[in-house]
Amino acid sequence: MSTDLINIENENMSCLAAIKRYQATKKPIKTILCGVVSLLLLKITPTFAHGPIFSPGPETLYKDGIEFQLDYYRSKSARASENEQAIGLGYGITQDWEISVELPYLTANEDGSKNSGTGNVQLETRYRLWRMDSFGKQDSITGFVTAVLDTAKQTINPMLSYGANDFIVGLAYGQESLIWQRWASLSYRFNGENDDGLNRGDQLFADASIGWRSEMPQYYKSDTLWMIELNVEHSQTSQQNNISLKDSGGTEVFISPGVIWAYRNIALKGGIQLPIYNNLKGDQNNADHRIKFSIDINY
């Protein structure tokens, strides 16, 4: 582990101070924690054809089903923005067990600097632990594990990856009926430590969503579902070589209206996350908004 990349003297060294130190030393550096980069932490599991947009749902593909997904994701704060385009592919091993992969391409902007390249590949496996079918209703609980692999283009200014593998584990519950849908999920992200000793704080996500359609679905008619989500994100303080970084960690809460339009095996989804509460520690950028669009095709 290299300790000469950033010589952190103060226990609560800020992100800005770390950058200045780096610029002064001109030593190679892979990891500097700051508010803009924290945007990259916020991307979580892939969405599914019929579930919440910004949080995981309990849906799994039918046996031998294939899901192809195109995502566009944008995150914006005062000084930075990030755009992500991703291709996702899922496969139903059984009706309860699904595996998927997501390949992102990122474009990040920060204070006039721009960087782009491949992002971190995500692998996910999900298993439906419980399901109860009744007339016009389905309740289910699904557990999932996601690996966010350190495959992104390793560059800085702004950086596209921290250089570590992360893992997400979680549970998602759903009660879907002909008119109303209810979802809730709880997930925890274990952020790995990179070669430079940066250990980003782990994150806890809690989500609750309601969906509503104005009329009964019909198989050969398009189906529109309106949704609203409440997303809570709590990040622990990050550490560099076991020293806490003061401009890290905190809590943000979002309200996220969205809509799904589906026709049989094709679904278009879109939504926006708007912050309604934040308590980020130190000097960090609060998120302005995040937008997500996706196209799902099942076969």
Partner 1 sequence: MKTLLTIIILMAFYSTSSTAQAGEKLHLMKVHGAVCASCAYGLEKKFKKIEGVTGFDIDFKTGVVSVCTDENTYFEKQQLTKIFIESGYTFKGEEIKGSCSQIANTENKTFKKSHVLNLGEDVTISGLYNGMCEDGEDFYFVYKTDVLEVILPKKGIPENLAKGTTLKVSGTVISHGDEIKIKARHIDVQ
Please report, as ranges, the residues that interact with partner 1 according to CB under 8 A. Answer: 49-50, 59-65, 92, 94-96, 131, 133-138, 176-178, 216-221, 223, 225, 262-267, 296, 298-299
Q: Which is nearer to partner 1, 48 or 162 (CB)?
A: 48
- Sign, CA dihedral 279-285-289-295, equals negative
Q: Which is nearer to partner 1, 114 or 221 (CB)?
A: 221
150 has which bridge partners?
none
CB of 278 to partner 1, least distance (A): 34
CB of 53 to partner 1, least distance (A): 14
CB of 209 to partner 1, least distance (A): 15
Q: Which two tokens mark 67?
A: 């899901």
- How far, CA to CA in Å, does 252 sit from each of 117, 128, 147, 203, 248? 27, 29, 23, 11, 12
Asked if residues 166 and 138 have their Cβ atoms less than 8 Å apart, the reply is no
Q: Which is nearer to partner 1, 82 or 96 (CB)?
A: 96
CB of 174 to partner 1, least distance (A): 10
* DSSP codes joined into one string, 240-257: ETTEE-SS--EEEEEEEE
CB of 90 to partner 1, least distance (A): 13
Residue 163: exposure state from Cβ atoms within 10 A (0-12, 13-18, ≥19): middle
Q: Which is nearer to partner 1, 229 or 252 (CB)?
A: 229
HSE-up of residue 25 (Cα within 13 Å, Cβ side): 14
180 has which bridge partners?
212
Secondary structure of residue 3 in the 3-state scheme: coil
Q: Which is nearer to partner 1, 10 or 134 (CB)?
A: 134
- Give the span between the Cα atoms of 199 and 235, in whole angstroms: 12
Q: Which is nearer to partner 1, 91 or 167 (CB)?
A: 91
CB of 49 to partner 1, least distance (A): 5
